[in-house]
Amino acid sequence: MAVARSEPFAEAACPLGVCDGSGWILGPEDVARPCECREERLKRGRVRGVASVIPPRYRGVSFERPPVTEMARDMQSRTVVNAVRAYVDDLEGNLAEGRGLWLMGKTGTGKTTLGMLVAKRALAAAKTVAVYFTPKLLTRIRQTYQATDSEDAYDAFFRRLTSVDLLYIDDLGSERHTDWVVEQLYALVNERYENRLAMLVTSNATRDVDEGRRQLEDQIGPRTVSRLVEICSDPLPLFGPDQRDQARAVGA
């Protein structure tokens, strides 16, 4: 007796090699029990529609390649690189506990590169990941309000963002400050905070972390920043040389 296949299992084989791809195991007397793959694959199906692809520029990021190798040799950024390496070395445990990372510093110091490295490792570990540059995330949220094909488009998208194992928001604070922006970001961060789900965040600062935190509080609100500290702990500072300028100098 075969068990009927249903989405999201219709075309995919069992990643564990146990069931027939249906998500069910047929036992004695034709009694079916769920395969261990079922819950994980259902979760992946629920979060379809979020941006989870590493941009082409960052698909080759690695601890063994520039610019991360140069950052690891630099006194100002070495500690942060080591902290990021420690985080991905215990990725399973950190995500299970809802522990995230917050990278803060000057433009061009490698924040996004390190963030994409973490996201890449999480995807390679078969974790669900959403990757968004802040203005694009807010644009996507606005589009859900304008959707004509579904009355609950916003709710569905919000549930996806708050269901992934890791939500990566790049360049937080770069968006134009409005009450609507503050409300949306607080709702998203607070939901993940309450459900102990990890976040990865990058934000800019010109001089030091204290200044950067004050600027971000002005931009997105102190409540949201407080929740981010609870999820990610204090920001990791990156105030070393501009990696893009160095790369241009080498190629000149």
| 110 close to 147: Cβ distance less than 8 angstroms | no
Residues 192 and 151 in one domain: yes
Tell me the longest C-alpha to C-alpha distance in the chain. Answer: 72
Residues 19 and 61 in one domain: no
Residues 19 and 108 in one domain: no
CATH of residue 97: 3.40.50.300
Residues 142 and 36 in one domain: no
Residues 31 and 53 in one domain: no
| 131 close to 171: Cβ distance less than 8 angstroms | no
Distance CA 176, CA 211 (A): 19
Per-residue confidence of the chain (252 residues) as pLDDT tens digits? 333 333 444 446 776 677 776 666 766 655 677 777 666 665 655 556 566 678 999 999 999 999 999 999 999 899 999 999 999 999 999 999 999 999 999 998 999 999 999 999 999 998 999 999 999 999 999 988 876 566 688 888 999 899 999 999 999 998 888 999 999 999 999 999 999 999 999 999 988 999 999 999 999 999 999 999 999 999 999 986 666 555 544 443
- Residue 35 has phi, psi (to 5 degrees) of -75, 155
For residue 200, what is the DSSP state?
E
Residues 58 and 18 in one domain: no
Distance CA 116, CA 104 (A): 14
Residue 98 neighbours by CB under 8 Å, 6+ apart = 192, 195, 196, 197, 198, 231
Residues 94 and 154 in one domain: yes
Residues 20 and 2 in one domain: yes
Full residue range of the structural domain in which residue 20 is found: 1-45
Write the CA distances from 172 to 14, 36, 102, 224, integer angstroms: 38, 37, 10, 11
Tokens of 122: 């999480």
The conformational region for residue 98 under phi > 0 = left, psi -120 to 50 = alpha, else beta, is: left
Residues 34 and 128 in one domain: no
Residue 56 neighbours by CB under 8 Å, 6+ apart = none
Amino acid at 220: I
Residue found under tokens 């604070």 = 173
Residues 40 and 74 in one domain: no
pLDDT on residue 84: 98
pLDDT on residue 69: 95
| 43 close to 49: Cβ distance less than 8 angstroms | no
Tokens of 78: 């070495």
User: What total number of domains does the chain contain?
Assistant: 2
| 162 close to 58: Cβ distance less than 8 angstroms | no
Distance CA 70, CA 100 (A): 24
Residue found under tokens 């601890």 = 63
Distance CA 98, CA 251 (A): 41
| 26 close to 1: Cβ distance less than 8 angstroms | yes
Residues 200 and 241 in one domain: yes
Residues 17 and 108 in one domain: no
Q: Closest by alpha carbon to 99, among 238, 229, 236?
A: 229
